[in-house]
Homo-oligomer: A and B are copies of this chain.
Amino acid sequence: MNNRRTLSVALNVFEKFQPRLPESYRALPYVLLGNIAPSLQRSVCEQVRKPKFVVADTMDLWIGMARADLLELLKEVDMLILNDSEARQLTEEDNVIRAGRKIAQLGPRYVAVKKGEHGCLLFGREGEFFSTGAFPLEMIHDPTGAGDCFAGGVIGHLARTDDISFPNLKEAIIQGTLVASFCVEEFSLRRLEKLRAEEIAERRKIFGGYIV
């Protein structure tokens, strides 16, 4: 369950979607551009007045069919999130360390490379690096949405703490990893629907002993 391939895409409502942000959203400091066409992500980004930190998620589909748009987007975001095979695809580098460092030179200040059960790597433009494993789980019921949970956990932590220093970005990566670890424990949204903040905090404590 650590790899996925895109066999077929139905964009459905996204095909003609032109997101217009409500006024109250335009003043928000922390922005997560969910995984939609890079041109739409840019249009959302431009509607936010003075974002403090913009995270963009992407995927193999857009790297393949909207590369130029994606490269434009990269100049405007603070962090790109993608998985290891996508990092290789975007850079045409086989080595994921070289791939991550290369993407960090394409515009985003930071690049988070997700590796599923193997955790996540964080690269900074100035050579910063952080590596964390995933929370150890004996049973993966449904990996669907784990990437979105990761991204949500990251931006949620940054927004909550209002701190974009590198040490806090590391912590955001860990928080994203933990939120994703709950997501995969049950089918669909079931685990998330009942997830409480204290459960994440509890798992964070356990995880601390696992990685240090």
Please count how many residues in chain A sit with their CB below 8 Å of the partner chain's CB atoms.
Answer: 26
Question: Which of B129, B130, B210 lies in contact with A131, CB distance below 8 A?
Answer: B210
Shortest beta-carbon distance from A143 to chain B in Å: 13
Given A119-B133, A131-B119, A132-B133, decide whether A139 and B210 contact each other with a Cβ distance below 8 A.
no
* Total copies of this chain within the assembly: 2
Q: Which stretch of A8-16, A94-102, A154-162 is in the interface?
A: A94-102
A88 contacts the other chain (Cβ, under 8 Å)?
no
Question: Which of B117, B209, B212 lies in contact with A212, CB distance below 8 A?
Answer: B212
- Bound form: Cα–Cα A96–B132 in Å: 17
Q: Which residues of B contact A131 (CB under 8 A)?
A: 119, 133-134, 136, 210-211
Cβ contacts A117-130/B at 8 Å (1 or 0 each)? 11101000000011
A115 contacts the other chain (Cβ, under 8 Å)?
yes
The answer on a CB contact under 8 Å between A121 and B133 is yes
Q: Which residues of B contact A193 (CB under 8 A)?
A: none
Given A118-B115, A211-B211, decide whether A95 and B138 contact each other with a Cβ distance below 8 A.
yes
- Bound form: Cα–Cα A69–B115 in Å: 36
- Bound form: Cα–Cα A96–B134 in Å: 12
The answer on a CB contact under 8 Å between B212 and A129 is no
- Bound form: Cα–Cα A131–B134 in Å: 8
Given A115-B118, A118-B115, decide whether A132 and B211 contact each other with a Cβ distance below 8 A.
yes
Q: Which residues of B contact A136 (CB under 8 A)?
A: 97, 121, 129, 131
Between A and B, 6 residue pairs with Cβ closer than 8 Å are: A95-B139, A101-B138, A119-B131, A119-B133, A132-B133, A133-B133
